[in-house]
Homo-oligomer: A and B are copies of this chain.
């Protein structure tokens, strides 16, 4: 599909108009289709309907484009988590479950972003703001963990940072092993979402939060 150069719509010919955005969309399409490894600068240019030299006006090289995609991914990811957490409303434990679901939902809904963020091997400081965006996303989980920890009596309170790392790792593990359309993925007796929810419930109970919000479900 070409996104420019058609004189038919009479809008643009020589100048693309918004090549930067078009390249990012192309990168997402290609990553989603062939994985982060099978995405080339030339391919993105072709898909955006411009010559192979044009992208250099907007990105230093392939990796810079990839890093920009990853940054945007983390921004959207953080936003999705933040909305799900919703400042702990209506109730911290319920909001916490919602955040976990939002994690998997993002991995499922945006596999290309997810791959760029976690599987492309991009250095976190290769792009200004990338580390920041990643930290912001993780920060949501961290704040949520702090709120959950605050529910516990002071003497049995675990470090919130540790808790957030556990949840981050479990979510990512489930997402990358089971929630993606990879060729290597395994069959499950339950949905990834249910698996995560069950895991988090057991974990929370282990912390002393007996029951959990939806312990009766399923």
A202 interface neighbour in B35, B158, B178, Cβ under 8 Å: B158
A162 interface neighbour in B190, B205, B206, Cβ under 8 Å: B190
User: Per-residue 0/1 for A104-140: is the Cβ within 8 Å of any B Cβ (1 yes, 0 no)?
Assistant: 0000000000000011011110100000000000100
B166 and A202 contact, CB distance less than 8 A: yes
B contact residues around A206 at 8 Å (CB): 201-207
Q: A169-B174, A170-B169, A170-B170 are in contact. Are A162 and B198 (CB under 8 A)?
A: yes
CB-based nearest B residue for A185 = B124
Task: Determine whether A99 belongs to the interface, using a CB cutoff of 8 Å to chain B.
Answer: no
B contact residues around A171 at 8 Å (CB): 173
CB-based nearest B residue for A36 = B37
Task: Determine whether A177 belongs to the interface, using a CB cutoff of 8 Å to chain B.
Answer: yes
Q: A184-B121, A184-B123 are in contact. Are A195 and B172 (CB under 8 A)?
A: no
Task: Determine whether A59 belongs to the interface, using a CB cutoff of 8 Å to chain B.
Answer: no
B contact residues around A168 at 8 Å (CB): 173, 177
Least CB distance from A52 to B in Å reads 21
Task: Determine whether A10 belongs to the interface, using a CB cutoff of 8 Å to chain B.
Answer: no
Q: A206-B204, A206-B205 are in contact. Are A199 and B158 (CB under 8 A)?
A: no
State the number of copies, please. 2
A166 interface neighbour in B37, B165, B170, B184, Cβ under 8 Å: B170
B contact residues around A153 at 8 Å (CB): none
User: Per-residue 0/1 for A53-65: is the Cβ within 8 Å of any B Cβ (1 yes, 0 no)?
Assistant: 0000000000000
In the complex the two chains form, what is the Cα distance from A194 to B164 in whole Å? Answer: 14
Sample 29 A-B pairs with CB under 8 A, ordered by A number: A35-B121, A37-B121, A121-B182, A121-B183, A122-B184, A123-B183, A123-B184, A124-B184, A162-B190, A162-B195, A165-B195, A166-B195, A166-B198, A166-B199, A166-B202, A168-B173, A169-B170, A169-B177, A169-B195, A169-B199, A170-B173, A170-B199, A172-B173, A172-B176, A173-B174, A202-B207, A203-B203, A205-B207, A206-B206
Minimum-distance CB pairs A-B, first 5: A173-B173, A206-B206, A169-B173, A37-B37, A123-B183
